[in-house]
Each structure stands twice: as C-alpha cells, then as structure tokens.
Structure 1
Amino acid sequence: MDYSQLEPTYSSRYDAKAIGSQYRWRPLRVIWRAIAVIWLFGNFALHLLFDKWTNRVAVNRQKRAIELRRVLTKLGPTYIKVGQALSTRPDLIRKDFLDELIKLQDQLPAFDNRIAFKIIELELERSIEEAYREFSANPVAAASLGQVYKAVLHTGEDVAVKVQRPNLRPTLNLDLYLMRRIAVWVEPWLPLNLGHDLALIVDEFGMKLFEEIDYYHEARNAEQFALNFAGDPDVKVPVIYNQFSSEKVLTLEWIDGIKLTDLDKLAAAGLDADNLIKIGVTSGLRQLLEYGFFHADPHPGNLFATLDGRMAYIDFGMMDQLSESMKETIASAVVQLINRDYQSLARDFVSLGFLTPETDIQPIVPALEKVLGNAIGESVGDFNFKTITDEFSELMYEYPFRLPAKFALIIRSLITQEGLALSLNPDFRIVEVSYPYVSQRLLTGESPQLRRRLLDVLIQDGKFQWTRLENMIAIASADDNFDLLPTARLGLQYILSEEGQYLRQQLLIALTEGDRLHTDEVKRLWSLIQDDIKPQKILDLAFNTFRQISADSVAAIIPSATTSR
C-alpha cells in the first residue's frame, strides 16, 4: 500500500481563512456533509419523539443510548470529542446514555492494522522489528484520533505506541468549517453578547484540535508537564521516547493503572476515591493557578489511578497556556466569589475579558449578587461549577457579558474535572478542595502579583477585614499538608519589607481603630494558630526573619508606623 495515498497534503496548523478558501469552491462536499449530520441527528431526534408518543421511552432507553453513541462514532472525531465531554457529566446525562458515551473514551472501532503498521514504519523510517523487540498484534485501545499498541523496546522498557488515524485533517477541516459557518450565522440571532466571538471559540477549538494531532507537539507538552510536576508524589507523567516518535507516531512509557470510573477495581485495589478526587482537583488547580499550563481534556480515558495511589496523566494533546496576570486574576475571582465581594468580582471580570473596560459595572453588581449568591447557596459547600455556569448564563441575556475564547477551554477543563469527581463521589463539592488551595496560594504570596491580590482580599474600602483573614487561615489550615510556620515567615518578611508599607499602615490602623486596641481580633487569630506555632518556634521565626532583613529595611518601619498614627 502506498502510504502517500492515505492522506493528501494539508496544512499542519489550523488556518480558518485557508480552510474557508478551500471549501468555498467545494459546495457539494459541504452540503453533503451538512446533510449527513442533519440526517443522523434528525433521525435520532425523531426516534426519541416517537418513543414519547408511543409511551416506549423506558423500553427503548438502552436502544437510544446505543444509537446516540453510534451516531457520534459515525460522524467522526469532531463529534466523538463532543461525546467524550458529555461522558464526564453524570449530573447532565442520564445513566443509560452515560454508560454508552463513556465507551467513546477508549472503546472506538480500530482502523486496519496493516495501515497502522505501515504508518509506523514510514514515520520512523525503520521496520517495526527494528524499533521494537515485541509489538502487540492488535491495538489495546482505540480513541477518536488514533489507536494504541503495547510494545517492548529492545532495551527492555514497556511502552505504549500511539498511531494516528489516517485522513484526519480533511475530516477535521470540513467539520470545523461547518461549525464556523454556523457560528457566524447564529451570532446575530443570539441575545446581546451571548454569541460574542463564537467564531473565535470555534477557532480556539480548531487550533487545539490541530495541535492534538501533531504528536511532536504532544511530546513537548508531556515533557513540560513532567517538568512542572517533577517531585510531586501524587502525579505520574509517562516518559516520552522521542527517538521512536514522529508527527503521527508517539512512543511513551506504559502505565499500569485503573480507570477512574471503575469504582469496583479502585475499591479492590484499596484506593481511596476521595483522595484521588483531591489529587485530581489540586493538580488541576496547580496547572491553572501555579504553572498556567493546563490539561484541557481531562476525561477518564486520559487519567488513571496507579496501584500506588497516584494520578497518571497519559494524553497531552490538548493543552493551553495562561498569562501570569490571568492566573492571579482567576485566583482573586475565586476568593471574591466565596467572600461574596461582587464589586471586586465585577472588576475581575473586566480584567479577564468577560466585560469590556468601558462597561459600567455598577448596575451589574446587584445582578451578580442575586444570581451568583443563589448559586453559592447558604454555604461554600453548596458551590459547584455546573450551578455557576447555569446561573451565569442568565446574566448573559441581560448584561453585556461575553465569553473570551481562551475561557472556553478553561471552563471545559473545570467542568470535566468536576464531572469526573462527581462520578467518583456524587456528594463532591469542588470548592471544598479548591478554596483551601487558593487561600494557601494567596497567604504564601510568593509573587508580587499574589501579594497584591491578598491585599485586595484583606483590605476593602480602606479597612482591614479581620474576618476574611481568619476564614482564610482556618480553611487553609484544614489541609494537613499546609504548614503555617513558613507562611508566617513569608508574611513577617513581607510586613517588614518596603513593599509591605501599606499593609503595615493598615494593620496599625485596624489594631487602634475607634480609640481602642482590637485585642479580640488578635485573640481569635491566636486561637487559630496556637497549636501550630509553639513559643520556641516563634523565637526562631522572629530571629531568622530579622536576620534576613537589612537594617535599612527595619528602619523603614519606624517612619511608616509614625505616619499611620
């Protein structure tokens, strides 16, 4: 078989204009694909309606679930990706449909082994026997964009070999072109800014999809991800074997693990589902708020629990990068939401691009308080992203909110992680893990940006917010891994530094406000930390901190203290 005939030459990068030019002169292909999509989904919808009219909904539930999976499979990789996203939402999809959609993660039809072997040999420019000592006769898994074989290198390492499906690019090009045309057509009919930048969101998805089918790019992503989590005892990242990889073939370390949705096997292996949830959510937050380099497709087919209790990531095709300012603003927005500071939250929405800079936020603040206040409920434990996204959609009908293209992937990642956690524990609330982490990040304040965000949280309308500091310390301390002493050292160093002059002034004002010493607040804080900080530790902390600060820095405290009186 001539491999050159497997796939025509197409650009390796997503280019909406080039794709538009390509299909503008091929209307028959576009029309035929549109008819195929409408026909398959239309038939499915008619079957659902017929079941309802004939009172056979319960009888045909399993039949319709299988039909939906087959429709998505038949339509190809773009629609399979949609099904994979839905398969992580047990709170949105009924169980019979969910059980079938889960099969889209790694139980798809494989393509011909002869084609796969030919791709491997031509991409690696050597025979399979030359590259691998052993190679499985059939794939061990088949996904939307490729299939996986188990092999052994001549040096003895067990590896997984991913081979890309042939003719992917023309299929993706046509589907993305149709989606973009529909987005442009629908936008003017949507209320206000609900349809703002829909085409840009399709373009963002297209760029990530094209990156996902470039295995060179995936290899670089995996290496960066491994570097970020180097030394983390809870996260496992497979080794990439670049000498046996190419644009369409990827060889990586074989991971023995258990799918996170297989509760029986997890229990049999003695693995704690709640601990796995915590690892998954915390590692996801670290990706977003610490490194800014995050996994945008964390469905159960890409995540496994290892037998020693770690979380293993095995697919790095769809990743994205956040700027430093965006990371810090997201952290700030989470805290403002939990603190119900909707004025500050509205300002964060402007910074993140959900509102334009010229937007008057004053009329929006009461609406945020009404809608998001209901979504949070009586306690932070009632919070979940599904509720927030559902409630927030109401605001987009009445106020000039828009969805920045970058956030389409972030929201997908967060909702997917939450859906996965819900499948492990239906009572899971993401805020119970995320807010302690965000509190710790702000309290440690290792960057100037984070320290400024902490000031925004602790000082409102020129007044120091004692209750917020107490809440943050209490919530952060609830995590056994949180060490208060290093955080206290960082805080003391900051207070004594030139950068901390404003905070020193505010603390002195807060302590002496109303012509009295506010000893009650100090006592409450002490009751929170006294078990973690012993007298000898305080002496050591003070001595080490002052030793690290120059005499000029300490002298700077005196003028600022005098000024604040």
Structure 2
Amino acid sequence: MIYSSSDSYKRETEPLRRYSAEDIAKYYRYRPWLGLFRSVKIFLYFAVFIIQLTLDKWFKKEENNKQKRAEQLRKILTKLGPTFIKVGQALSTRPDLIRKDFLEELIKLQDQLPPFDSRIAFEIIESELDLEVEEAYKEISATPVAAASLGQVYKAVLHTGEEVAVKVQRPNLLPVIRLDLYLMRLASRWVAPFLPLNLGHDLGLIVDEFGTKLFEEIDYINEGRNAEKFASNFLGDPEVKVPCIYWRYSSHNVLTLEWINGYKLNDLDTIREAGLDPSDIIRIGVTSGLRQLLEHGFFHADPHPGNLFAMPDGKMAYIDFGMMDQLTEDTKETIASSVVQLINRDYQALAKDFVNLGFLTPETDIKPIIPALEKVLGNAVGQSVGNFNFKTITDDFSELMYEYPFRVPAKFALIIRSLVTQEGLALSLNPDFRIVEVSFPYISRRLLTEESPAMRKRLIEVLFKDGRFQWERLENMIAIAQSDRQFDLLPTASLGLQFLVSEEGDYLRRQLITALIEDDRLHTEEVHRLWTLIQPELKPQKLFDVALQAIKQFSQELVAN
C-alpha cells in the first residue's frame, strides 16, 4: 500500500495503539475468510518445506541441498511477516537448537531483511514530523542501512552536526500482526494439551502478553521513553551504553536516536580484531542482564545480536527498546533468593520460591516435588553454559511437567525469552564460558551488600534454616562473591555491623549468639574457617578507612538524636 497523503496514513494506524484480544477476536469473528486464508498460507508454506526435507533424506540429498533449504526457511519466515520473523530471530541465537547452515541464514533476519521503498519511508517521515526531510536532517542515506521485522533504519546527520539513526516503521504493519496474534490465540486452545511443559493453563495469557508487548514495540514514542528509563537505570555505569533520543524528530512511527558505532555480538572475528575479549563482552551482557532483572526490574526482552553491540572502548551498547517489561520488588527478591537456593542445593526452599513466583499454585503439595527438583537441577551448578542451558533443563523437566502441576506464568514468558536469548549469545561467542561464574557471584554479592530491608530479610532466610545458622552457606556466599571483581568485603562487613547494632538487627544478634553456642559447644572451627576466608582482604589501611567511616556515621546519628 502506497500512502499518497499523511491523512490516509494516520487514519490507518492511529486507532490501533493498544492490544485487545477481545476486540481482535470480535473483528475477525465477522471476517472468518481472512483467518482461513492466512492459516492455509502458513500451512502450505511449511508443509511444502517439510516434504522437501523428507525427500532430501529419502534420496540422500541432504548434504547437497542443505544451503538451499536454509535459504528457503529464511525466505518462508520473511514472506510470512513480522510475527514469524520474530520467531526466526529468537532461533538465530540458539546454536544448540538449530543446525549451523540454518543458523547462518536465520541470523540474517536480525537486520538483513528486504527493505520497503525509501520514497514511502520519506513520505512517512514528513507526515509524522510535519517537516520536509531536508528540514529535519542535513544528510540522510538514500537507502536504509538495515531493515528489520518492524521497520528500517537510515543513517543521517542533524543540522546541529550529530550523527543519528532514523527508524521508520513498515507500512501496513498492524493488520498483519493483528491477524497472526488472533490465529496464535486460536491455536493455543488446540496446542496446549500437547505441550511438554504444561503451558496449557496460561498459554492464552502468554499470547496476550506477547501481543501487548508487540503492540508496545510498534509505538516508537513508547520505545523512546523506555530507552530513557533504561539509560537512567544504568547512569554512571562504565560498561553499558544507551543512545540518546532526539524527540524533536520522533513520533509514533519515526524514531531518531544517537548513532552507535560498534560490532554486532555475533561478529566474533571483528570483536577479536578490535582487541576485545569475547569473555569480557559475555560477562558484561550477563551482569547487565542480571542487573535489569534483580536491581531495576526493568528489562530488555529482545536482546538478540542485532540489538546489542560491542563498542571499541569495551562497552556494550543496547538499542531497540520496544519490547521491555517491569518486575515487582517481590518478584526480583524471590528470583535472587531462588538462585541462591540453587547454589545451596536447598530444593525445599526452591520449591517454595516456585510457589511464590507462580510456577506452582499455593495449594500444591511440594513434598513429592522436592526429590524431582533435586534430580533435575542437582548437577546444574558448576556446568558450563554449553551443558547448563534452558534446553537441557526443559528436556529434563518435560516428563516432570506431566507428573506435577508446574506452569509458566504469563509474566515470565518474556523473562524466559530474554534469558534464553542471552544464553544463546554466550554460546555463540564462547561455548566454554561458564555462565554460573558470572551469575552466582553477582547474586551472592547483591544479597550480601543490599541495604533494603526486603533483601536483608531474604539473606536471613538463606542463612537460617529451621532456626539454625547455616555456616557453610555463609562461607559459600562469601567465597563465590569474592570472585566478583566488584565485591569489596570490608564495606560489606561494615554494612553488616551497622545492621547488627541497630534496633532492626536485634533478632539477628540473638540468633548469631545462639548459633555460636548451639549444640552445647563453641563453634570455633566454623569461625576459624570464616577468618581464613576473609583474612587476606583485611589490609590495615582498609580497616582504618572503614573504622573511620563507621565512627563518622555513628557521630552523625548521635547528633541527629
């Protein structure tokens, strides 16, 4: 469809800003032929493809035709449009799921999609900004530098001299997405009983969550606000870069933002040629992802290689903030707690966290589930990311899901997508990278250093089990946290001492005294092990600085009272 006037373009797009499953179902209920035509088209594309794969196998032509079939799959997903391109993008980060020839083609879906006519794009820019293209930009590329599932990007220069990226949304996008979401919701009713992960309970809600986020993603005003919120969360972080938004040249369908010079994360050779260590890039990605989930609660739900760049100065740049989500404080704390329970192999506490997160209903009897969790997760700690991944856990859980009432809450669909994608990136950059070596130290450090009452409560829950102090857990947490380069023991100890002498710490003081003398003996051996663990960090100058800071704070509190 070619837009000959700004009015016709706006009439086509303005009424459809928010996702509503009911409104979409109502629309297609009276137009069943549209859904039928689309369903037949999808079925025929994939049926022909599967038949060709089968014939290749029968006639032993798999090796000869593998590149041809890979290109064919990419073209099928491209022809079916944005919803299927999104699926292909997710699969392109999973070398453990997709064979190499298919993977190389699916990676092209991230930013090598067919562009639409630049004349239409410039027409959209002018209608949205109410400016001639030459008035808005001093220079702009004649053709797009990248084309994605929802829009395409031009490189431009503002009249004030800044290099910018200009995103222009594809025309006629919403009707296609709306129909695909309608068919997905219909299909969820039929598919749910056959899924191995017991998704049936919430599958419709998961589709709705995806639909809501997809509609948000095609609103560039929303994306710009998300980018600014994300940037404020990482303000002062020396390892994360977020582009600036130029609001004067942005609208619902056009977004102008700072140009990022960097290397795509799946371009391993270029990253190495630039003198960057892929393991450092992975560490930044995993740590920043954990910060999003556990500190800010506001996370990037679509971190595929086309949206993440390694910069020459070693930073990681995030772009494309259309698909984001927000977690509650309680959810953040419970996720952190559940990871520590996994470290400590406390599967009873882990099962309780699953209840709190909504993976199990409150009335579920968790006793028979605990041995099953231990069997599935028992060997997870310490494995490399090549073995410890969501595919492995999913395969192990598949039988469990039929036997026990696990479910995936709709809210966690995007979290799982984000984690799976980041894990796939780690696999692409370095199959031997140990993801636990980054995530566990980070979470242990966060629990030990967090000043919020809620997180302190989680720490106490971890350190005390059945009223008894868990000495080994404290040792494990300190030892694991020490492998995090940002962990400093003395300030952490200072925070702990301040809490102990406060009114809030009265319960913990009594519990620690009990722990030292429980079982009618002094626990000198445990104390000695802790001392051996922390003694190397107790440098005289550090001790003096911490003592001085504590005296100053104590004096200020006395004056205040």
- Specify the TM-score bucket, using the shorter chain as the normaliser: over 0.9
- Matched position secondary structure for 2:447: helix
Residue 139 (structure 1) aligned with residue 144 (structure 2): yes
Residues 121, 386 of structure 1: alpha-carbon distance in 2 compared, 3 angstrom cutoff = same
State the match for 1:513 in structure 2. Answer: 518
Q: Residue 284 of structure 1 is aligned with which of 289, 293, 296?
A: 289
* Contact residue 66 and residue 100 of structure 1 kept, 8 A: yes
State the match for 2:82 in structure 1. Answer: 77
State the match for 2:457 in structure 1. Answer: 452
* Contact residue 271 and residue 278 of structure 2 kept, 8 A: yes
Residue 275 (structure 1) aligned with residue 308 (structure 2): no
Question: Partners of 2:341 and 2:551 in 1: how far apart?
Answer: 33
Q: Name the TM-score, length of structure 2 as normaliser.
A: 0.95
Residue 25 (structure 1) aligned with residue 30 (structure 2): yes
State the match for 2:100 in structure 1. Answer: 95
Q: Residue 239 of structure 1 is aligned with which of 235, 244, 257?
A: 244
Letter in 2 for 1:523: H
Letter in 2 for 1:185: W
State the match for 2:426 in structure 1. Answer: 421
User: For each residue in 1:439-478, what CA deviation from the matched residue of structure 2 results, as whole angstroms up to 9, or x when unmatched?
Assistant: 0000012111111111111111111111111111111111
Per-residue deviation at 1:358? 1.1
Question: Partners of 1:262 and 1:532 in 2: how far apart?
Answer: 39
Per-residue deviation at 1:396? 1.2
Question: Partners of 1:262 and 1:371 in 2: how far apart?
Answer: 34
Letter in 1 for 2:360: L
Question: Partners of 1:247 and 1:474 in 2: how far apart?
Answer: 49
- Matched position secondary structure for 1:530: helix
User: For each residue in 1:296-339, what CA deviation from the matched residue of structure 2 results, as whole angstroms up to 9, or x when unmatched?
Assistant: 00000000011111000111000000000000000001111121
State the match for 1:8 in structure 2. Answer: 12
Question: Partners of 1:181 and 1:381 in 2: how far apart?
Answer: 36
Percent identity of paired positions between Structure 1 and Structure 2:
71
Q: Which moved more, 1:189-198 or 1:54-63?
A: 189-198
Q: Which moved more, 1:162-171 or 1:491-500?
A: 491-500
* Contact residue 131 and residue 244 of structure 1 kept, 8 A: yes
Per-residue deviation at 1:515? 2.6
- Matched position secondary structure for 2:16: coil
* Contact residue 376 and residue 382 of structure 1 kept, 8 A: no
* Contact residue 384 and residue 429 of structure 1 kept, 8 A: no
Per-residue deviation at 1:429? 2.5
Question: Partners of 2:441 and 2:61 in 1: how far apart?
Answer: 48
Letter in 2 for 1:2: S
Residues 191, 102 of structure 1: alpha-carbon distance in 2 compared, 3 angstrom cutoff = closer
Q: Which moved more, 1:334-343 or 1:67-76?
A: 334-343
* Contact residue 385 and residue 426 of structure 2 kept, 8 A: no
* Contact residue 386 and residue 432 of structure 2 kept, 8 A: no
* Contact residue 111 and residue 147 of structure 2 kept, 8 A: yes
* Contact residue 375 and residue 391 of structure 1 kept, 8 A: no
Per-residue deviation at 1:195? 1.2
Q: Name the TM-score, length of structure 1 as normaliser.
A: 0.94
- Matched position secondary structure for 1:59: helix
Per-residue deviation at 1:182? 0.5
Question: Partners of 1:492 and 1:29 in 2: how far apart?
Answer: 67
- Output aligned runs, 1:399-410, within 5 Å: 399-410=404-415
- Output aligned runs, 1:164-563, within 5 Å: 164-188=169-193, 193-376=198-381, 383-535=388-540, 537-538=542-543, 540-542=545-547, 544-545=549-550, 548-549=553-554
* Contact residue 65 and residue 97 of structure 1 kept, 8 A: yes
- Matched position secondary structure for 1:147: strand
Question: Partners of 1:19 and 1:249 in 2: how far apart?
Answer: 25
Per-residue deviation at 1:544? 3.9
Residues 52, 204 of structure 1: alpha-carbon distance in 2 compared, 3 angstrom cutoff = same
* Contact residue 149 and residue 161 of structure 1 kept, 8 A: yes
Question: Partners of 1:156 and 1:534 in 2: how far apart?
Answer: 51
Residues 440, 21 of structure 1: alpha-carbon distance in 2 compared, 3 angstrom cutoff = same
**Structure 1, unaligned runs of 5 or more:** 554-565
- Matched position secondary structure for 2:144: coil
* Contact residue 381 and residue 432 of structure 1 kept, 8 A: no
* Contact residue 385 and residue 431 of structure 2 kept, 8 A: no
Question: Partners of 2:247 and 2:404 in 1: how far apart?
Answer: 50
Question: Partners of 1:535 and 1:226 in 2: how far apart?
Answer: 38
Q: Which moved more, 1:166-175 or 1:382-391?
A: 382-391
User: For each residue in 1:472-492, what CA deviation from the matched residue of structure 2 results, as whole angstroms up to 9, or x when unmatched?
Assistant: 111111122211111111111
Per-residue deviation at 1:536? 5.2
Per-residue deviation at 1:394? 2.8
- Matched position secondary structure for 1:58: helix
* Contact residue 381 and residue 436 of structure 2 kept, 8 A: no
- Matched position secondary structure for 1:357: coil
State the match for 1:112 in structure 2. Answer: 117
* Contact residue 192 and residue 398 of structure 1 kept, 8 A: no
State the match for 1:558 in structure 2. Answer: none
Residues 87, 378 of structure 1: alpha-carbon distance in 2 compared, 3 angstrom cutoff = closer
* Contact residue 197 and residue 397 of structure 2 kept, 8 A: no
Equivalent residues, number: 553
State the match for 1:130 in structure 2. Answer: 135
* Contact residue 192 and residue 400 of structure 1 kept, 8 A: no
- Matched position secondary structure for 2:281: helix
Q: Which moved more, 1:438-447 or 1:6-15?
A: 6-15
Letter in 1 for 2:12: P
Residues 134, 500 of structure 1: alpha-carbon distance in 2 compared, 3 angstrom cutoff = same
Per-residue deviation at 1:385? 3.2
Letter in 2 for 1:481: Q
User: For each residue in 1:418-440, what CA deviation from the matched residue of structure 2 results, as whole angstroms up to 9, or x when unmatched?
Assistant: 10011000112221110000000
* Contact residue 380 and residue 432 of structure 1 kept, 8 A: no
Question: Partners of 1:381 and 1:538 in 2: how far apart?
Answer: 42
Question: Partners of 2:386 and 2:178 in 1: how far apart?
Answer: 43
- Matched position secondary structure for 1:403: coil
- Output aligned runs, 1:26-41, within 5 Å: 26-41=31-46
Per-residue deviation at 1:383? 3.4
Runs (4+) of structure 1 exceeding 6 A deviation are 377-381, 550-553
Per-residue deviation at 1:384? 3.1
Letter in 1 for 2:422: Q
